[in-house]
Amino acid sequence: MGNISTPPTPSQNSGGSLPQPPSHRERDDNYAKVITQLAPRWRVIICKDGLQWILQKRSVPFPNTGTWAGKSYSTTRDALIAACSDRGLLSEPSEEQLLDALPSSFREYAKEHSRS
Protein backbone atom coordinates (compact mmCIF):
# COMPACT_ATOMS: atom_id res chain seq x y z
CA MET A 1 0.00 0.00 0.00
CA GLY A 2 3.03 2.25 0.04
CA ASN A 3 2.43 3.31 -3.58
CA ILE A 4 -0.82 5.17 -2.82
CA SER A 5 0.05 8.79 -2.36
CA THR A 6 -1.85 11.97 -1.82
CA PRO A 7 -2.03 13.99 -5.03
CA PRO A 8 -1.16 17.67 -4.92
CA THR A 9 -4.16 19.84 -4.24
CA PRO A 10 -5.09 22.67 -6.59
CA SER A 11 -3.71 25.20 -4.10
CA GLN A 12 -0.34 23.41 -4.22
CA ASN A 13 -0.31 23.50 -8.02
CA SER A 14 -1.18 27.16 -8.44
CA GLY A 15 2.46 28.23 -8.55
CA GLY A 16 2.10 31.59 -6.85
CA SER A 17 0.62 30.68 -3.49
CA LEU A 18 2.13 28.88 -0.56
CA PRO A 19 0.89 25.33 0.11
CA GLN A 20 -1.85 25.17 2.71
CA PRO A 21 -1.44 22.88 5.71
CA PRO A 22 -3.48 19.67 5.56
CA SER A 23 -7.09 20.10 6.63
CA HIS A 24 -9.22 17.77 8.74
CA ARG A 25 -12.42 18.88 7.00
CA GLU A 26 -13.54 16.45 4.29
CA ARG A 27 -14.97 19.25 2.15
CA ASP A 28 -11.62 21.08 1.77
CA ASP A 29 -9.29 20.86 -1.25
CA ASN A 30 -6.37 20.23 1.09
CA TYR A 31 -8.04 17.45 3.14
CA ALA A 32 -5.29 15.30 4.66
CA LYS A 33 -6.71 11.83 3.94
CA VAL A 34 -7.03 11.74 0.14
CA ILE A 35 -6.38 8.27 -1.30
CA THR A 36 -6.43 9.27 -4.97
CA GLN A 37 -7.75 11.87 -7.39
CA LEU A 38 -9.62 10.03 -10.17
CA ALA A 39 -10.54 13.09 -12.25
CA PRO A 40 -10.32 16.86 -11.76
CA ARG A 41 -13.60 16.88 -9.82
CA TRP A 42 -13.59 13.33 -8.36
CA ARG A 43 -11.50 11.83 -5.57
CA VAL A 44 -11.48 9.03 -3.00
CA ILE A 45 -10.82 9.87 0.65
CA ILE A 46 -10.81 8.19 4.03
CA CYS A 47 -13.63 9.59 6.16
CA LYS A 48 -12.54 11.81 9.04
CA ASP A 49 -13.64 9.18 11.57
CA GLY A 50 -11.64 6.43 9.85
CA LEU A 51 -14.67 4.20 9.16
CA GLN A 52 -14.99 4.08 5.37
CA TRP A 53 -13.86 5.27 1.97
CA ILE A 54 -15.81 8.14 0.43
CA LEU A 55 -16.09 8.93 -3.28
CA GLN A 56 -16.38 12.71 -3.50
CA LYS A 57 -17.21 15.20 -6.23
CA ARG A 58 -16.13 18.83 -6.16
CA SER A 59 -19.08 21.22 -6.45
CA VAL A 60 -17.51 23.42 -9.14
CA PRO A 61 -14.36 23.21 -11.28
CA PHE A 62 -11.15 24.68 -9.89
CA PRO A 63 -10.17 27.57 -9.57
CA ASN A 64 -13.70 28.61 -8.56
CA THR A 65 -14.50 28.39 -4.88
CA GLY A 66 -16.11 25.05 -4.24
CA THR A 67 -16.28 22.21 -1.78
CA TRP A 68 -16.11 18.42 -1.95
CA ALA A 69 -19.24 16.40 -1.20
CA GLY A 70 -19.68 12.69 -0.64
CA LYS A 71 -21.43 10.81 -3.46
CA SER A 72 -20.77 7.22 -2.34
CA TYR A 73 -19.73 5.65 0.96
CA SER A 74 -18.03 2.25 0.93
CA THR A 75 -16.66 -0.17 3.50
CA THR A 76 -15.55 -2.70 0.89
CA ARG A 77 -13.13 -2.33 -2.01
CA ASP A 78 -15.60 -3.94 -4.44
CA ALA A 79 -18.33 -1.43 -3.55
CA LEU A 80 -15.89 1.45 -3.99
CA ILE A 81 -14.77 0.14 -7.38
CA ALA A 82 -18.40 -0.35 -8.45
CA ALA A 83 -19.29 3.23 -7.42
CA CYS A 84 -16.34 4.60 -9.40
CA SER A 85 -17.08 2.37 -12.40
CA ASP A 86 -20.78 3.36 -12.45
CA ARG A 87 -19.68 6.99 -12.84
CA GLY A 88 -17.14 6.24 -15.59
CA LEU A 89 -14.17 7.18 -13.42
CA LEU A 90 -12.00 4.14 -14.18
CA SER A 91 -11.15 4.85 -17.81
CA GLU A 92 -7.42 4.42 -17.20
CA PRO A 93 -6.18 0.94 -16.17
CA SER A 94 -3.89 2.53 -13.57
CA GLU A 95 -6.90 3.99 -11.74
CA GLU A 96 -8.56 0.60 -11.34
CA GLN A 97 -5.22 -1.00 -10.40
CA LEU A 98 -4.79 1.56 -7.65
CA LEU A 99 -8.19 0.73 -6.18
CA ASP A 100 -7.62 -3.02 -6.69
CA ALA A 101 -4.50 -2.67 -4.52
CA LEU A 102 -6.63 -1.65 -1.54
CA PRO A 103 -7.50 -4.35 1.02
CA SER A 104 -10.90 -6.02 0.50
CA SER A 105 -12.48 -4.11 3.40
CA PHE A 106 -11.94 -0.80 5.09
CA ARG A 107 -11.49 -2.64 8.38
CA GLU A 108 -8.42 -4.41 6.92
CA TYR A 109 -7.14 -1.08 5.54
CA ALA A 110 -7.47 0.53 8.99
CA LYS A 111 -5.60 -2.38 10.62
CA GLU A 112 -2.74 -2.10 8.13
CA HIS A 113 -2.41 1.64 8.62
CA SER A 114 -2.70 1.61 12.39
CA ARG A 115 0.60 -0.32 12.52
CA SER A 116 2.46 2.25 10.40
In a domain, 50, yes or no: yes
pLDDT, position 18: 66
44 in Cβ contact with 53 (< 8 Å): yes
In a domain, 15, yes or no: no
Cβ neighbours around 101 below 10 Å, total:
12
In a domain, 44, yes or no: yes
| The model's pTM | 0.81
29-48 burial: b if 16+ Cβ within 10 Å, else e: bbbebbbbbbeeebbbbbee
pLDDT digits (tens, 9 = 90+) for 41-69: 999 999 999 999 999 999 998 888 889 99
Q: What domain count does the chain have?
A: 1
